[in-house]
Amino acid sequence: MKFFMKKNVLVIALALILNACGAGKALLSVENSPIVTSIDLLNIIDDKVQVGINPGAFTTSTVIFRIPKTVPGTYSSDNYGQYIEDFEALDYKGNLLQSIKLDDNSWSISGAVQLDKVQYWVNDTYDTENDVEDAVFSPAGTNIAEGSNFMLNLHGFVGYFDGFKEVPYAIQIKKPADLLATTTLSGEVDRKPDPIWDAFTAKRYFEVIDNPIMYAKLNIETFEINGITVTLSLYSPNNVYKASDLKDKMVAMMGAQKKFLGDVDSTKEYNILLYMSDINIPDARGFGALEHHTSTVVVLPEAMDIGRLEQAMVDVVSHEFFHIVTPLSVHSKEIQYFDFNDPKMSEHLWMYEGTTEYFANLFQIQQGLISEEEFYERMLTKIVNSKFYDDNMSFTEMSKNILEQPYEPNYANVYEKGALINMCLDIILRKNSNGEKGMLWLMKELSKKYGTDIPFEDEALFAEIVSMTYPEVDVFFKEHVIGATPIDYDVFFAKVGLATKDVQEPTGYFFDGQVPYMDVDVQNDSVVFIRENIELNSFFDNLKLKGGDIFRTINKQEINLETLRPIIGESFSWTPETVVSMTIERASEMISVEGPVGQPVKKVKKIVALEGVSEKTVQLRNAWLKN
């Protein structure tokens, strides 16, 4: 994390040279000079900021300038060029060059040998999310709140010229003196502070977009986690929260993560940029996070209470931090050489998102942050959620085509079935290695072989993993990841002495916790009826009541919303022997029922430990969950 309040003398001097005259600029080709970018956060007009891109000299007659269509980690076509207005290409004398807009994100510029710079105005995404059907996911979006906050996911502001994505960038930002930048983007601090200028450098375009910047008034906490300097920077528009409110939770959580990862050491610096959205105004609505090599952008509602906020931060940030393993350290050429405007997607979302989501849950049980029962409940929830997607779809086929139909609607399954795929692989590895090796071991071995700068061949990864592991892994990949055969999770649970079973748990007569078994039809005399989209408890089952039944009387009392309330109150004092009589309407027929209310219980599916399993199986389960 760096707070930049000083100019980079070399960057500013170079910018002056490049702007001085065409003759001077002609001496420096695009390949041999940085692309100087300016962003003006002081002179906001109509909630827009102006951006200038000043390259070296081109030798071609035409050049294409692009703003990204898609960025890594989003797996969606967001077309950031739609937020660009008044695009202009200028020659050395300040005259307009001809530019033609090719699509939402691309402009073809004629007379490129005379091109001095391009400039344009940028709208933000946060305050338009409610008006756009397919809004940009907020952690990948942008915010322009004059004088208080700027969320600079730089892919929304800074573009690139075709063929020159590997050229260095020098970024100059003019900003309010009282707003400070939190970023891991490189910068030079080598002269007397200038409170309205920041200067940053990047080795290539990917580095520009991989290092978001958040400008806000100072609200940070910095701490050390086993050699990693972590900075939490928080923006709370109504000053509800401070970074210090979350520091202890983040220290405990990230300390546990680092202990879980052990010798994985891909970064010395990590930033958490937390933007808290105001739900009372047009603002960010896509809650979650987006990973980068050395930082993550998190967007959550400011209205959350501290308990829910802490748990959300644990779940969200732990997932994003584990991305330092994959895809940030282990990834294919499709990721390493990502095409922002014509992306070729990798087939390994089962790993990039699935492994990460699995680790985000596994580390919490291994490090004692949650109980075994809580971990089982999370995995079972993922099993249930995964069934809402196409369970007969090849995961690799979905991954390669994730931007297209019918695959795109199944994307969220990477966090459900993707995590479960990794759970099954983890169990396979543990069983075949007598508990010594698991998915974390595998990812560490792949990190040693590849790392941040060496990508693997997309189609070769499965064979590589099988060569490092066991034939059973090959069978699993071919049947359940490459193939489309649904997974029988009980087969894998049995290997560690577990099974999914229906068990009975106490519940209320009319409510399951805070969830009612009834609903009200306000457009039809406010009749009260039994919900059809919920599994009923024993109270309703024993009286042979069904979803859709309308209550007409209970204990001879005519029922509406007002008369039902005191009956619900009375139910808290009912004993199992209490007798209740009802008249219900079902398909226009009146039916009378009567009987003891009993002790209400509900049927719940749970992952439970099997009795009578061998000590070796118990040891294997402990190795999986506790080592």
Single-letter amino acid, residue 472: E
Structure tokens at 571: 């139910």
CA dihedral 223, 227, 229, 232 (to 10 degrees): -60
> Which CATH number does the domain housing residue 514 bear?
2.30.42.10
* DSSP symbols for 121-143: EEE-SGGGGGG-TTPPPGGGS-E
Q: Give the angle subtended at the CA of 325 by the CAs of 319 and 328, to the nearest 5°.
A: 95
- Helices and strands (H, E) in the chain, number of each type: 18, 31
| Same-domain pairing of 365 and 234 | no
* DSSP symbols for 94-114: SPEEPEEEEETTEEEEE-GGG
| Same-domain pairing of 363 and 485 | yes
- Among 187, 190, 192, which residue's Cα sits nearest to residue 173? 187
pLDDT of residue 266: 66
d(CA 221, CA 166): 34
Question: Is there a domain that residue 572 lies in?
Answer: yes
CA 390 to chain centre: 21
Question: Is there a domain that residue 319 lies in?
Answer: no
User: 594 with 580: CB under 8 angstroms?
Assistant: yes
| Same-domain pairing of 352 and 467 | yes
| Same-domain pairing of 436 and 523 | no
At residue 343, what are phi and psi to the nearest 5 degrees? -70, 140
Angle between helices 354-366 and 372-386 (to 10 degrees): 160
At residue 574, what are phi and psi to the nearest 5 degrees? -65, 145
pLDDT of residue 30: 65
| Same-domain pairing of 86 and 56 | yes
> Which CATH number does the domain housing residue 286 bear?
3.30.2010.30
- H helix intervals, 404-544: 417-432, 439-449, 461-468, 471-476, 489-495, 538-542
Number of domains in the chain: 4
- Among 74, 4, 1, which residue's Cα sits nearest to residue 243? 1
User: 34 with 14: CB under 8 angstroms?
Assistant: yes
Question: Is there a domain that residue 18 lies in?
Answer: no
Question: Is there a domain that residue 358 lies in?
Answer: yes
Q: Residue 600: which pLDDT band, with cuts at 50, 70 and 90?
A: very high
**211-257 residue pLDDT tens:** 999 999 999 999 998 888 999 999 999 999 999 999 999 999 999 99
- Among 210, 219, 142, which residue's Cα sits nearest to residue 179? 219
d(CA 273, CA 264): 23
Burial of residue 69, with CB atoms counted within 10 A of its CB: 0-12 exposed, 13-18 middle, 19 or more buried: buried
pLDDT of residue 5: 30
d(CA 455, CA 333): 5
Domain boundary among 189, 214, 239: 214
Question: Is there a domain that residue 476 lies in?
Answer: yes
Domain boundary among 440, 466, 497: 497
- Among 289, 224, 257, 213, which residue's Cα sits nearest to residue 41? 213
What is the residue range of 172's domain?
35-214
Question: Is there a domain that residue 454 lies in?
Answer: yes
Q: Tell me the CB-side half-sphere exposure of residue 271, using CA atoms within 13 A.
A: 23
pLDDT of residue 215: 97
DSSP 8-state code for residue 343:
-
Structure tokens at 53: 């891109």
Q: Residue 75: which pLDDT band, with cuts at 50, 70 and 90?
A: confident
d(CA 260, CA 266): 14
Residue in the block written with tokens 């039902």:
564
Find the mean pLDDT for residues 79-99.
96
> Which CATH number does the domain housing residue 57 bear?
2.60.40.3650
d(CA 324, CA 328): 5
Single-letter amino acid, residue 329: S
3-state secondary structure of 421: helix
> Which CATH number does the domain housing residue 454 bear?
1.10.390.10
pTM, rounded to two decimals: 0.82
Question: Is there a domain that residue 7 lies in?
Answer: no
pLDDT of residue 561: 85
**528-584 residue pLDDT tens:** 999 998 899 999 999 999 999 999 999 999 998 889 999 999 999 999 999 999 999
Question: Is there a domain that residue 570 lies in?
Answer: yes
Peptide bond connecting 566 to the previous residue in cis, omega within 30 degrees of 0: no
Domain boundary among 435, 462, 497: 497
Residue 108, strand partner residues:
64, 100
**133-150 residue pLDDT tens:** 778 999 999 999 999 999
| Same-domain pairing of 345 and 288 | no
Higher-scoring residue by pLDDT: 245, 291 = 245
**451-461 residue pLDDT tens:** 888 999 999 99
489 Cβ contact list (under 8 Å, min separation 6): 383, 420, 424, 500
At residue 246, what are phi and psi to the nearest 5 degrees? -110, -5
478 Cβ contact list (under 8 Å, min separation 6): none
DSSP 8-state code for residue 58:
-
pLDDT of residue 21: 35
The secondary structure of 168-225, three-state, reads: CEEEEEECCCCCEEEECCEECCCCCCCCCEEEEEECCHHHHHCCCEEEECCCEEEEEE
| Same-domain pairing of 262 and 349 | no
- How far is the CA of 254 from the CAs of 245, 248, 551, in angstroms? 16, 10, 52
**326-361 residue pLDDT tens:** 887 888 988 888 888 988 999 999 999 999 999 999
| Same-domain pairing of 68 and 203 | yes
* DSSP symbols for 53-65: EE--B--SSEEEE
| Same-domain pairing of 487 and 513 | no
**177-203 residue pLDDT tens:** 999 999 999 875 444 468 899 999 999
pLDDT of residue 9: 34
d(CA 613, CA 496): 9
User: 52 with 18: CB under 8 angstroms?
Assistant: no
| Same-domain pairing of 241 and 190 | no
Q: What is the mean pLDDT of the chain?
A: 90
pLDDT of residue 134: 78
| Same-domain pairing of 207 and 233 | no
User: 420 with 500: CB under 8 angstroms?
Assistant: no
**513-537 residue pLDDT tens:** 989 999 998 877 778 999 998 899 9
| Same-domain pairing of 552 and 487 | no
The secondary structure of 543-557, three-state, reads: CCCCCCCEEEEECCE
- How far is the CA of 517 from the CAs of 49, 358, 555, 556, 574, in angstroms? 52, 33, 19, 21, 17
Structure tokens at 25: 């600029």
User: 476 with 488: CB under 8 angstroms?
Assistant: no
Burial of residue 142, with CB atoms counted within 10 A of its CB: 0-12 exposed, 13-18 middle, 19 or more buried: buried
- Among 162, 83, 95, which residue's Cα sits nearest to residue 123? 83
- Among 379, 348, 477, which residue's Cα sits nearest to residue 425? 477
82 Cβ contact list (under 8 Å, min separation 6): 104, 105
* DSSP symbols for 550-599: EEEEETTEE-SHHHHHHHHHHHTT--TT-EEEEEEEETTEEEEEEEE---
pLDDT of residue 31: 66
Peptide bond connecting 516 to the previous residue in cis, omega within 30 degrees of 0: no
3-state secondary structure of 367: coil
